[in-house]
A and B are shown apart, each in its own frame.
Chain A
Amino acid sequence: MEVPVIETRGLIKSYRTGEHAVPVLRDVSMSVHRGECLFLVGPSGSGKTTLLSILGCVLSADSGEIRILGHDVKHLNPDEQAEFRREKIGFVFQRLNLFDALTALENVCIPLQLLRWKKAASVSRGKHLLDLLGLGGLTDRNVTQLSMGQRQRVAVARALAADPELILADEPTASLDESSGLQAIATLKDLCRSLGKTVVVVTHDSRIFSFADRVLTLNNGQMKPSVHTDSLNAVRMDTNTPEPMKKAA
């Protein structure tokens, strides 16, 4: 039986505010399988980003079990967590967090530099990814000179650069208009599917739910039963998605 890419059981996380501990995640159990595109949805403050941070090994749970790609990551020290993120996880941040001083290509090459790739190899890999994302002609353009949609694609290319098995995206459409948002999520899903990546997307943008293979809802730190989007798609595609994107989805 195939090992899930993500498997959590009874995750609990609280934040301390003065004397009090505010629970954010309560007994969260979930699993995500290889190649799956999972959306974590829920209202603001429901714990989506905290869960994503724990899945991305940048935050530790107070208790519970968590295995990513078969590794028990709960007991990794900060250096081991960094190494795990470097090699196994690609991030697309809500604010993209591109390095403004660098070009598109240099941004994409940063994760490869962290992995000590040779310059020629990392440049070649970066150019290939930017080509795949339709930015082949903009490799040497400073990212501040790109449109928001183009910057989004650079962020996706950077997340894929080190060929990680897991891609985590935090509100990837938050800073985009409707059309660009749909295009971005379609591109992310298509590319990850073709490259065999597992994707977890945190979002509250209901326009893009139809791109998910499965949607998990968090409410007040608790996981609701998962919804497969086959039936959801039928409804949402007709109401929310423009014609071109229906095809992409």
Chain B
Amino acid sequence: MISFAIKTLLSNRSKLFTGVAGVIFSLVLVNIQGGLYLGLMKKASLLVDHNDADLWVTHKLVENVDLAREIPESWQQRIRGLPTVQKAVPYIVGKGTASLNSGHMEDVWVIGSEPDSMLGSAWGFVAGSRADLRRPYGVSFDEVDSEKLGHPQIGEWLEVNGQRTRVVARTNGITGFITMPYLFTTYNTARNLVHMPSGLTSFILVKIRPGKDRIALQQLIQQRIPDACVYLPEDFASISQKYWMKRTGIGISFGAATLLGLLVGLTVVGQSLYAMAIDHLKDYATLKAIGARDSDVCSVILTQTIWIATVGTFLGMLVVYLIANFWNSPLAPVYIRPLLSAASVVVMFVICIVAAFVPYLRIRKIDPVTVLIG
């Protein structure tokens, strides 16, 4: 019955097109919404995700990497004393205000890394390098923030919190969840710029010796410094993401849009299949009159459904990857994860099969006698 199902489907091009379009629309909406959501969430943990630290030591009340609280700088000595620690360095994430040549002010985040390792410093350089950041008062900014900062050129001065910094590098792709420009520099420059009190810092970043157990070290540091919170990077990234998710309700809005996409898909596919079934009631009645079982009729509808879902999925995922490649930007990153795509495809097939249920019930009701006695 497969050939009957497909040929009948192909003979009804407008409804086939509508059904396939419904699947494409749903898949694109779900994947792009999901991709944008994941992209935004990644921005919330950008500083953690692009940092090589094995452990983050923070204040107990810290819920987000961008919103640090001061901790004693001396904790790094207590951590360095542990046998499996390769390195423990302080790291500053602090707020500043840049004064622009235009007279405008712009809030910025100042990120300061220990100059020897430059752990947690900038990446994605399009001009200058990490080494340049070690120059006195050297800072980097991201191309995305160029307009906000008055289009500073390499070598120009930029005033932050009343102190002069020199622009020595430019990056691409470093933009955080709250869209304030990140200025990367060395630890001491950052300390001066954000007026960090002496003896305090934002985080301690820990590198573990190769082959040693991260979890064991995490517990050890936690025991040694009970006032601290010690996080694995993936946990701290997750905490940072959840912070914004809870505070902004962003998950609900994206989730609602995704659900809407699925509902639209369900409706469009269901409506197309139903309309197609109604158009071919005579054929189904004939099939039943010549002895088709309910399972034969069911297989026809299911074949048509799976065909629509397969073609729609193929085209839909093509559109998704085109959009993700051409639309993706640091400001609106679209993270298309294989797991998200696979899940959306599975959900789409389930939705299509659910949508096929209504026309199936309608066809099941057809009395074969209608072929003889109309």
Contacts and interface: CB of A to CB of B under 8 A. Distances in A.
Interface of A: 49-50, 52-53, 56, 58-59, 79, 82-87, 89, 91, 93-94, 97, 99-102, 106, 110-111, 113-114, 158, 170
B4 A58 contact: no
Chain A to chain B: the 4 pairs with minimum beta-carbon distance, closest first: A86-B291, A101-B11, A85-B291, A97-B286
A110 B8 CA distance: 13
B127 interface: no
Nearest to B12: A101
Interface in B275-326: 282-283, 285-294, 296
Contacts of B286: 93, 97, 99
Contacts of A86: 290-292
Contacts of B1: 113-114
A114 B7 contact: no
B10 A110 contact: no
A105 B212 CA distance: 72
Contacts of A94: 372
Contacts of B4: 99, 101-102, 106, 110, 113
Given A49-B372, A53-B369, A106-B7, A85 B289 contact: yes
Contact of A110 (B290, B293, B372, B373): B290
Majority DSSP secondary structure for residues of B touching A: helix
Given A58-B369, A58-B372, A99-B283, A114 B11 contact: no
A106 B3 CA distance: 8
Contacts of A100: 11, 283
A106 B291 CA distance: 16
B373 A49 contact: yes
A110 B287 contact: yes
A248 B371 CA distance: 30
B251 interface: no
Interface in B336-374: 367-369, 371-373
A97 B369 CA distance: 13
Contacts of A91: 289-290, 371
B371 A97 contact: yes
Nearest to B6: A101
A87 B7 CA distance: 25
B4 to A, nearest CB: 7
B307 to A, nearest CB: 14
A91 B293 CA distance: 17
A52 B369 CA distance: 10
B179 to A, nearest CB: 56
A56 B288 CA distance: 12
Max chain A CB contacts within 10 Å: which of B282, B286, B287, B367? B286
A245 B321 CA distance: 68
Max chain B CB contacts within 10 Å: which of A85, A89, A106? A85
29 contacts: A49-B373, A50-B373, A53-B373, A56-B289, A58-B368, A58-B371, A79-B293, A79-B294, A82-B368, A86-B292, A89-B291, A91-B289, A91-B290, A93-B286, A93-B371, A93-B372, A94-B372, A97-B283, A97-B286, A97-B289, A99-B7, A99-B8, A101-B10, A102-B3, A106-B4, A111-B290, A114-B293, A114-B296, A170-B372
Given A82-B288, A93-B286, A102-B7, A53 B372 contact: yes
A106 B4 CA distance: 8
B293 to A, nearest CB: 6
A82 B367 CA distance: 11
